[in-house]
């Protein structure tokens, strides 16, 4: 670990200044043996916290038995500062309960410091500020020491110029690696699918029934089939230029009697029904397809399943055991009590021709949908059209967010809130994204929502909350949790692309990081390549990659100016 400070260098300059603080007169001795190191040397953001370990080794015969030293770590940034937990050290004859540094044998202490992250800390320094106290002299109360030149800073000086307090601090670490903040949780988030169909098929059908063994259409049966309503449906759809109607007539026979006879009968029924439908729709210009389907065993099974016939399970068992129509009919007829019920309630419904209008309705084209989106005329679009537009017709997260915000409010749809959360995360609206996912979770539950709640909580620094969902987390989510906790080795195993590259850089596997983004030409990937090159000492490549990144996303210039990883480029 690099030696960041020889504390005694401060004290050699302070020998005269300390003359009024009796217990510090001789503490300049053995000055070359006092070491102070900080781990990590460059501060690192991890899980919303900036932490470091300050390690100090005092030599033998150094620390005065009656001295008390008060050391406060302070993280300093433009516009503010945050003080960490103060550490007190005392000589062996001080009647207090502080950490004792023995004069004869010297001593060590480690000071772990943590600071909650503030975005202003992106460009910061970690200082130590020290105060001394002696039982005699002018330092009977804790008195600030300027650790850069060894002078005593009096209360009068502080009152006259408060800035001297900051000037008295010794910088032991400079800069903050915020690469963890660059993880793209939105890339891992899962959208919930829309049900939009470019073509919707609508089916309208009616049955024209026949007498047993007959293919003659009667007026009564025409009336019972409500062909007038069928025609009205056809006429209404004729007005829709997006509708394509397909008219079919399907002739059937009930599954009783000889199979060959029933095949001919079903054909005759399809033809007689076609003639009726052709006359009915003569002004439509629609083609009519007619086909014979023989004995209607499928219809028979469906009606039996829906019926209250006492032995219907036995009948259905016969259908599953035998494939031969003749054998099926024989076995069912052997159930004499049941067969009479079938003859009266089931079989007459199968002596029919089914008249079907299968209409394909073409939805709005992509261009039509986007015209409404671009004009913000969202009310002209359905819920599914809006979800489809946001998911498939635009990559602009601002447009996606606007569409989905409207959709979520109007339809109160969990899918809209979920997908809105993803768009908001892409826009950097982390708190809003989490709120959207939470609203979606109140309306529905899904594996997509569970994953997104994990990721959104991680993005907001709520790692403990995210881990509540860990039992149901997929591999990517678990990897993201690992990354948020600083476990980049395991994180890299479950991440891909840019996120994997970030984890590999933090894991100091630069070769793997470069491989992970080899095919990524985005501004963020170029920026990360600049960081990697700078860490490798290839400043020429770093400069070229940074230039490329800024040309694609000019806002990255400001980020680069504060990035400790690119400090070598700042000249």
> What was the pLDDT predicted at 27?
64
Question: What is the distance between the alpha carbons of residues 164 and 154, in angstroms, rounded to a whole number?
Answer: 10
> What was the pLDDT predicted at 14?
40
3-class DSSP assignment, residue 367: helix
- H/E stretch holding 552 reads helix 539-552
Question: What is the distance between the alpha carbons of residues 204 and 156, in angstroms, rounded to a whole number?
Answer: 94
- H/E stretch holding 537 reads none
The answer to whether residues 150 and 14 touch, using CB atoms and an 8 Å cutoff, is yes
> What was the pLDDT predicted at 25?
64
Block means of pLDDT (10 residues each) for the chain, 571 residues, are 40 44 64 81 90 92 90 94 95 93 91 92 93 86 83 88 92 92 95 94 96 95 94 95 96 93 97 96 94 95 91 88 88 80 92 97 95 97 97 97 98 98 97 98 95 96 92 93 93 95 95 96 97 96 97 95 90 63
Instruction: Report strand pairing: 68-77 vs 87-90.
Output: antiparallel
Q: Where are the domains of the chain?
A: 7-177, 199-362, 366-569
> What was the pLDDT predicted at 389?
97
Give pTM, 2 decimals: 0.76
310, with CB counted inside 10 A (0-12, 13-18, 19+), is exposed
Question: What is the distance between the alpha carbons of residues 213 and 472, in angstroms, rounded to a whole number?
Answer: 62
Q: 366-569: which CATH number, 3.30.920.30, 3.40.50.620, 1.25.40.10, 1.10.510.10?
A: 1.25.40.10
Which residues, 6 or more positions from 115, have their beta carbon under 8 angstroms from its beta carbon?
49, 50, 51, 75, 82, 84, 121
Q: 199-362: which CATH number, 3.40.50.150, 3.30.1330.60, 3.30.230.30, 3.30.2320.30?
A: 3.30.1330.60
Residue 323 corresponds to which tokens in the numbers above?
């494939």
3-class DSSP assignment, residue 362: strand
**CA-based nearest residue to 50, from 3, 111, 114:** 114
CATH topology of domain 7-177: Immunoglobulin-like (2.60.40)
The answer to whether residues 520 and 497 touch, using CB atoms and an 8 Å cutoff, is yes
**Secondary structure (H, E, C), 45-104:** EECCEEEEEEEEEECCCCCCCCCEEEEEEEEEECCEEEECCCEEEECCCCCCCCEECECC
- 208 beta partners: 353
The string of pLDDT tens digits covering residues 325-348 is: 888 888 888 886 788 888 889 999
């Amino acid at each position: 670990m690099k030696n960041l400070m020889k504390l005694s260098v401060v004290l050699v300059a302070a020998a005269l200044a300390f003359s009024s603080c009796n217990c510090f007169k001789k503490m300049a001795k053995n000055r070359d043996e006092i070491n102070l190191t900080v781990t990590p040397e460059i501060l690192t953001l991890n899980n919303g916290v900036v932490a470091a370990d300050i390690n100090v080794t005092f030599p033998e015969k150094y620390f005065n038995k009656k001295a008390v030293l008060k050391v406060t770590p302070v993280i300093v940034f433009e516009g503010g500062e945050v003080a960490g937990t103060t550490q007190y050290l005392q000589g062996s004859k001080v009647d207090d309960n502080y950490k004792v540094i023995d004069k004869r044998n010297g001593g060590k202490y480690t000071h772990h410091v943590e600071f909650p992250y503030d975005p202003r800390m992106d460009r910061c320094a970690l200082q130590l500020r020290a105060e001394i106290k002696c039982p005699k002299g002018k330092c009977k109360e804790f008195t600030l020491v300027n650790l850069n030149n060894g002078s005593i800073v009096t209360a009068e000086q502080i009152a006259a110029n408060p800035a001297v307090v900051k000037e008295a601090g010794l910088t032991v670490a400079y800069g903050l690696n915020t690469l963890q903040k660059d993880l793209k949780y939105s890339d891992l988030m899962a959208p919930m699918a829309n049900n939009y169909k470019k073509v919707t098929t609508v089916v309208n059908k009616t049955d024209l029934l026949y007498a047993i063994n007959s293919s003659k259409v009667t007026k009564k049966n025409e009336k019972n089939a409500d062909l007038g309503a069928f025609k009205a449906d056809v006429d209404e759809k004729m007005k829709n230029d997006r509708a394509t109607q397909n008219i079919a007539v399907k002739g059937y026979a009930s599954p009783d009697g000889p199979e060959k006879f029933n095949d001919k009968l079903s054909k005759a029924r399809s033809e007689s029904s076609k003639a009726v439908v052709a006359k009915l729709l003569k002004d439509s210009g629609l083609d009519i397809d007619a086909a014979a389907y023989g004995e209607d065993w499928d219809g028979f099974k469906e009606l039996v399943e829906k019926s209250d016939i006492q032995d219907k399970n036995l009948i259905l068992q016969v259908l599953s055991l035998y494939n031969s129509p003749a054998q099926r009919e024989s076995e069912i007829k052997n159930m004499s009590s049941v067969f009479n019920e079938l003859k009266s309630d089931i079989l007459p419904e199968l002596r029919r021709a089914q008249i079907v209008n299968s209409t394909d309705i073409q939805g709005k084209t992509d261009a039509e949908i986007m015209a409404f989106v671009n004009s913000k005329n969202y009310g002209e679009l359905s819920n599914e059209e809006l979800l489809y537009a946001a998911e498939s017709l635009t990559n602009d997260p601002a447009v996606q967010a606007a569409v989905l915000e409207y959709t979520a409010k109007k339809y109160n749809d969990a899918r809209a809130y979920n997908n809105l959360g993803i768009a908001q995360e892409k826009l950097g609206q982390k708190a809003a994204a989490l709120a959207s996912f939470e609203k979606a979770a109140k309306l529905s539950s899904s594996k997509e929502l569970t994953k997104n709640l994990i990721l959104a909580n991680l993005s907001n620094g709520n790692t403990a909350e995210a881990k509540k969902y860990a039992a149901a987390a997929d591999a990517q989510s678990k990897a993201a949790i690992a990354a948020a906790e600083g476990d980049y080795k395991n994180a890299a195993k479950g991440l891909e692309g840019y996120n994997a590259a970030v984890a590999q850089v933090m894991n100091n596997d630069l070769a793997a990081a470069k491989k992970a983004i080899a095919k990524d030409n985005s501004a963020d990937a170029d920026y990360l390549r600049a960081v990697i090159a700078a860490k490798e000492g290839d400043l020429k490549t770093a400069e070229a990659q940074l230039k490329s990144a800024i040309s694609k996303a000019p806002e990255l210039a400001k980020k680069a100016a504060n990035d400790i990883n690119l400090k070598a480029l700042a000249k």
